[in-house]
């Protein structure tokens, strides 16, 4: 489990919670349920959470798949510097945001899910993870320039007798570990 | 498109039948609760939200029943084996089991959302009519409590005015199991997102076992019998059509109508899910038993780029090209099974996998074998499973494109073609196989040892396709890919562009296999 970046799962969970808060809030407000103003709060809180969580952070190793159109939101999120980079801040923020929605049945599912996301972020923060924006790569050069020219000389070949030996006798350094069950004849090109 | 349909008509049929059954169940249940008389009084309080909630509940039961079946991979292998005389097209849906599982999961999520929203309205309406003092039919019905002199039957679960919606939710079986089950479902879904699955597989694997919580909650959900309809006796005596209008007079001695009696619907979810759950338990037991069978590791090869090749034998193991196995290494993790494509050909007397370091478990595995411990770590194997890539053999010309570790399924195919060719197998249609392996390390192919032309840099697909089209102007060319989606888009475009309009001339057919 050592390589799991908990923040990535926390991010998915928080994004889902944001959507659930918005949905529950809409139901409570439109249906004019009792104490529906908690529903209105829930829509706002859910929208804020969605905006904050939409840009995916960079993975520690390898390339990260961006969410569609996230660079614009990421630019805004980057502006807050340590407030958005640090996962302790996010954990506390999500916990606080989730509490008022817990007073209404329509939004309590959002509360529980956001609280769980907060706990996962806390775990991520304890393990030293932080949100780093995905750097946009410079535009790839057109294909033609990528292809290196093939070598102009053929590789040096051993004298004709050596070439006739069957493959299994090759003891060359870094020799092919593949053992061919049916003998392979070397095509002399 | 036409070619795709010919190959996939059975899968499309299954899809259409599944959607049709969902629609049918939804509409039938909706009409029952919206129209039938035994819910007349219930509808008086709840309105149409009752029917919507019940209809989505029935679809949830149906889909929860279906979702366990596609992941019983041993059962599916058994079906594939038994139906080996069947047309290849009829067996194709068995290879798309995970796609179907995901589709059913999406349906469960959608129906859960509908069900919850409908019940939010239901609870709110029950709450409001409990508080109402306007003497309407709804408030009279809500007043029917446990202490009715005519036998104690109630309709509204909100028994007193100071019961809040939250209180009733968390003190009723239905509410509690509903919330817990939904939270389990949401956690399963967020950890099953493609991004998490690809990069943090163990997290997905462990979290997905929350399905046990989900199924338990689903089974218990209806035991509170909170959905109530009028009893048959009560309807015979005081049918709503004749008594509903005179509800103020129910208590009078000389009234023909008595207050209606209600009873809760018996729980039905467990009936839907009991069979698949038992099937799945058998599946897990079978995996356990198969994993106990001894696996002999005959050869371990360390390749560059941190790729480990394991050659193994197991009694009674037989495979086809392009299949995969699940591997467990108890010394690394007691619980984790990871899938790997078989890279050996069926003609060989061992089976092999090539493992690339892509996460915790794979890195630990490679390290364990690198250290030359004696004895070597024990390996457990389940399988083989999955698609048999027979399609490749049907084409005169096959172009196999594999990116990175995606070359593994084609290694198996190429080796098999080679053996068949050597042994002059007459069933082999293939005359020529071209292999584009996008690895940048060595000039020799590390997987198969086959000779190949060495090109520098990424292939220019337009050039490749036009060369093949000129070299084989009258052939049907199958293009097979195991690699990233962007490459798939590229290749599919090339297939369309270079296929001749004349059906007798060169045709390229693109196949992207889910390996």
pLDDT at A147: 57
Is B458–A147 a contact, with Cβ atoms under 8 angstroms apart? Answer: yes
Chain B residues closer than 8 Å to A150 by CB: 455-456
Q: Residue B355's closest CA among B385, B417, B312?
A: B312
Residue A49, judged by CB atoms within 10 A of its CB (0-12, 13-18, 19+), counts as buried
A109 touches chain B (CB under 8 A): yes
Q: Where are the alpha helices (DSSP H) in B68-96?
A: 73-82, 88-95
Which range of residues forms the domain containing residue A118?
6-126
Residue of B nearest to A36 (CA): B124
Q: Residue A74's closest CA among A6, A134, A12?
A: A134
Which of A33, A147, A180 is opposite residue B456, by nearest beta carbon?
A147
A147 in a structural domain = no
SS3 of B137-186: the string is HHHHHHHCCCCCCCCCCCCCCCCCCCCCHHHHHHHCHHHHHHHHHHHHHH
Query: β-pairing, B397-403 with B228-230?
Result: unpaired
Sign of CA dihedral B322, B383, B74, B82: positive
Which residues of chain B carry a pLDDT beneath 70? 1-4, 6-7, 83-92, 95, 146-152, 387-390, 424-457, 512-515
Chain B residues closer than 8 Å to A65 by CB: 195
When pLDDT is averaged across residues A80-93 and rounded to a whole number, the result is: 90
Q: Residue A48's closest CA among A96, A106, A81, A10?
A: A96
Cα(B215)–Cα(B281) distance, integer angstroms = 13
A105 touches chain B (CB under 8 A): yes
Q: Which two tokens stand for residue B508?
A: 């390229």
Cα(B492)–Cα(B488) distance, integer angstroms = 6
CATH H-level superfamily of B294-385? Translation factors (2.40.30.10)
A141 in a structural domain = no
Q: Distance (Å) from the C-alpha of residue A82 to the closest C-alpha of chain B?
A: 25
Identify whether the C-beta of residue A92 lies closer than 8 Å to the C-beta of residue A117. no
Task: Look up residue A38 and give its DSSP letter.
Answer: H
Give the Cβ contact number of residue B351 at 10 Å.
26
| Phi, psi angle pair for A66, to nearest 5° | -80, 155
Sign of CA dihedral B162, B163, B164, B167: positive
pLDDT at B170: 93
Is A3–B360 a contact, with Cβ atoms under 8 angstroms apart? Answer: yes
DSSP helix/strand/coil, A182? coil
- The number of distinct structural domains making up chain A is 1
Cα(B112)–Cα(B292) distance, integer angstroms = 39
Q: Of B85 and A114, which is predicted with more confidence?
A: A114
Is B123–A105 a contact, with Cβ atoms under 8 angstroms apart? Answer: yes
B348 touches chain A (CB under 8 A): yes
Residue A185, judged by CB atoms within 10 A of its CB (0-12, 13-18, 19+), counts as exposed
Q: How confident is the model at residue A187 (pLDDT cuts 50, 70, 90)?
A: low
Sign of CA dihedral B340, B345, B350, B356: negative
Q: Distance (Å) from the C-alpha of residue A79 to the closest C-alpha of chain B?
A: 26
Which DSSP helix (H) or strand (E) runs through A56? none
DSSP helix/strand/coil, B264? strand
Q: How confident is the model at residue A175 (pLDDT cuts 50, 70, 90)?
A: very low
B336 touches chain A (CB under 8 A): no
Burial per residue of A116-144, b for 16 or more beta-carbon CB atoms within 10 angstroms, e otherwise: bbbebbbbbbeeebbbebbeeeeeeeeee
Cα(B377)–Cα(B296) distance, integer angstroms = 11
B192 touches chain A (CB under 8 A): no
Give the Cβ contact number of residue B74 at 10 Å.
18
A33 in a structural domain = yes
Q: Distance (Å) from the C-alpha of residue A11 to the closest C-alpha of chain B?
A: 9
B196 touches chain A (CB under 8 A): yes
Is A9–B191 a contact, with Cβ atoms under 8 angstroms apart? Answer: yes
Q: Which two tokens stand for residue A5?
A: 């970046």
pTM of the model: 0.80
SS3 of B485-498: the string is HHHHHHHHHHHHHH
- Model confidence pLDDT, tens digit, residues A130-146: 888 887 766 555 555 55
Chain A residues closer than 8 Å to B196 by CB: 8-9, 12
Chain B residues closer than 8 Å to A104 by CB: 166
Cα A129 from chain centre: 13
Residue A145, judged by CB atoms within 10 A of its CB (0-12, 13-18, 19+), counts as exposed
Beta bridge partner(s), residue B230: B262
Beta bridge partner(s), residue B160: none
Q: Residue A102's closest CA among A91, A92, A115, A111?
A: A111
Is A116–B301 a contact, with Cβ atoms under 8 angstroms apart? Answer: no
Q: Which two tokens stand for residue B182?
A: 């939904």
B390-512: CATH topology is Rossmann fold (3.40.50)
Q: Which two tokens stand for residue A145?
A: 């320039």
Give the Cβ contact number of residue B367 at 10 Å.
13
Q: Residue B235's closest CA among B268, B259, B218?
A: B259
Total count of residues recorded for chain B? 515
Identify whether the C-beta of residue A124 lies closer than 8 Å to the C-beta of residue A7. yes
- Model confidence pLDDT, tens digit, residues B154-206: 888 888 888 889 999 999 999 999 999 999 999 999 999 988 988 888 889 89
Give the Cβ contact number of residue B245 at 10 Å.
11
Q: Is the preceding omega at residue B371 within 30 degrees of 0, hence cis?
A: no
Identify whether the C-beta of residue B193 lies closer than 8 Å to the C-beta of residue A12. yes
Numbers of helices and strands, H then E, in chain A: 8, 0
B193 touches chain A (CB under 8 A): yes
Check pLDDT > 80 for residue A166: no
Cα(B209)–Cα(B203) distance, integer angstroms = 10
A93 in a structural domain = yes
- The position carrying tokens 């060169």 is B506
Query: β-pairing, B338-341 with B351-356?
Result: unpaired
A165 in a structural domain = no
Of the residues B186, B194, B207, the best mutation for testing chain A's interface (the one with the most A CB atoms within 10 Å of its CB) is: B186
- The position carrying tokens 């939004």 is A107
Cα(B64)–Cα(B119) distance, integer angstroms = 19
Cα A96 from chain centre: 26
Q: How confident is the model at residue A4 (pLDDT cuts 50, 70, 90)?
A: confident
DSSP helix/strand/coil, B434? strand
The CA–CA distances, whole Å, from B473 to B397, B403, B460 equal 11, 27, 20
Which of A20-34, A93-107, A136-150 has the least mean pLDDT? Answer: A136-150
Chain A residues closer than 8 Å to B189 by CB: 16
Q: What are the residue ranges spanned by the domains of chain B?
A: 1-172+224-285, 294-385, 390-512
- The position carrying tokens 């690699």 is B483
Cα(B26)–Cα(B28) distance, integer angstroms = 6
Cα(B195)–Cα(B402) distance, integer angstroms = 21
SS3 of A100-143: the string is HHCCCHHHHHHHHHHHHHHHHHHHHHHCCCECCCCCCCCCCCCH
- The position carrying tokens 């340590």 is A82
Which of A2, A108, A148 is opposite residue B457, by nearest beta carbon?
A148
Of the residues A5, A9, A155, the best mutation for testing chain B's interface (the one with the most B CB atoms within 10 Å of its CB) is: A9
Residue B114, judged by CB atoms within 10 A of its CB (0-12, 13-18, 19+), counts as middle
């Amino acid at each position: 489990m050592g390589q799991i970046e908990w923040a990535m799962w926390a991010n998915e969970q928080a994004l889902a919670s944001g959507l659930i808060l918005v949905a529950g809030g809409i139901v409570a407000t439109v249906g004019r349920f009792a104490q529906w103003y908690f529903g209105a709060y829930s829509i706002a809180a859910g929208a804020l959470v969605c905006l904050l969580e939409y840009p995916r952070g960079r993975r520690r190793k390898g390339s990260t798949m961006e969410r569609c159109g996230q660079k614009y939101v990421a630019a805004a999120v980057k502006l807050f510097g340590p407030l958005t980079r640090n996962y302790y801040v996010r954990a506390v923020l999500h916990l606080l945001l989730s509490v008022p929605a817990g007073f209404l049945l329509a939004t309590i599912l959002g509360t529980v899910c956001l609280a769980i996301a907060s706990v996962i972020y806390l775990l991520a923060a304890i393990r030293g993870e932080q949100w780093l924006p995905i750097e946009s790569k410079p535009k790839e050069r057109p294909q033609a320039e990528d292809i290196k020219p093939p070598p102009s000389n053929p590789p040096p070949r051993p004298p004709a007798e050596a070439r006739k030996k069957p493959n299994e006798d090759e003891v060359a350094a870094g020799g092919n570990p593949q053992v061919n069950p049916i003998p392979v004849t070397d095509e002399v090109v | 498109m036409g070619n795709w349909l010919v190959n996939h008509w059975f899968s499309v049929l299954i899809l259409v039948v599944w959607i049709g059954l969902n629609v049918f169940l939804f509409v039938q249940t909706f009409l029952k609760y919206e129209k039938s008389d035994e819910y007349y009084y219930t509808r008086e309080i709840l309105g149409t939200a009752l029917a919507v909630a019940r209809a989505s509940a029935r679809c949830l039961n149906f889909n929860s029943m279906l979702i366990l079946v596609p992941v019983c991979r041993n059962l599916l292998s058994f079906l594939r084996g038994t139906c080996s005389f069947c047309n290849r097209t009829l067996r194709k849906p068995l290879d798309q089991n995970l796609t179907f599982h995901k589709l059913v999961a999406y349906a469960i999520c959608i129906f859960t959302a509908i069900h919850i929203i409908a019940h939010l309205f239901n609870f709110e309406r029950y709450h409001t009519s409990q508080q109402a003092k306007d003497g309407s039919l709804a408030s009279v019905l809500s007043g029917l409590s446990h202490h009715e002199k005519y036998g104690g039957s109630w309709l509204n679960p909100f028994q007193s005015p100071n019961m809040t919606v939250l209180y009733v939710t968390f003190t009723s079986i239905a509410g509690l199991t509903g919330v817990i089950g939904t939270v389990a479902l949401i956690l399963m879904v967020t950890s099953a997102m493609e991004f998490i699955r690809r990069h943090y597989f163990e997290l997905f694997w462990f979290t997905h076992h929350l399905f046990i919580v989900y199924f338990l909650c689903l089974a218990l959900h209806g035991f509170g019998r909170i959905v109530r309809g009028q009893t048959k006796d009560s309807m015979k005596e005081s049918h709503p059509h004749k008594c509903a209008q005179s509800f103020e007079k129910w208590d009078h001695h000389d009234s023909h109508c008595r207050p209606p009696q209600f009873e809760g619907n018996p729980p039905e979810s467990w009936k839907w899910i009991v069979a698949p759950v038992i099937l799945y338990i058998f599946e897990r037991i079978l995996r356990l038993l198969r994993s106990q069978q001894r696996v002999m590791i005959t050869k371990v090869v360390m390749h560059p780029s941190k790729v480990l090749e394991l050659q193994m034998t197991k009694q009674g193991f037989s495979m086809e090209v392009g299949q995969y196995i699940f591997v467990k290494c108890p010394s690394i993790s007691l619980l984790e099974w990871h899938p790997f494509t078989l890279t050996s050909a069926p003609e060989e007397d061992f089976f092999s996998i090539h493992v690339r370091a892509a996460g915790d478990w794979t890195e630990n595995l490679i390290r364990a074998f690198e250290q030359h411990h004696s004895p070597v770590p024990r390996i457990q194997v389940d399988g083989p499973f999955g698609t048999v890539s027979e399609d490749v053999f049907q084409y005169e010309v096959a172009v196999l494109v594999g990116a990175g570790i995606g070359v593994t399924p084609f290694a198996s195919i190429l080796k098999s073609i080679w053996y068949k060719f050597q042994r002059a197998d007459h069933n082999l249609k293939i005359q020529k196989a071209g292999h584009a392996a996008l690895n940048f390390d060595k000039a020799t192919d590390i997987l198969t040892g086959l000779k190949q032309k060495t090109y520098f840099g990424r292939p220019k697909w337009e050039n490749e396709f036009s060369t093949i089209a000129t070299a084989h102007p009258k052939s049907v060319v199958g293009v097979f890919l195991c690699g990233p989606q962007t490459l798939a888009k590229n290749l599919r475009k090339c297939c369309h562009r270079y296929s001749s309009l004349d059906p007798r001339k060169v045709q390229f057919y693109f196949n992207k296999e889910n390996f």
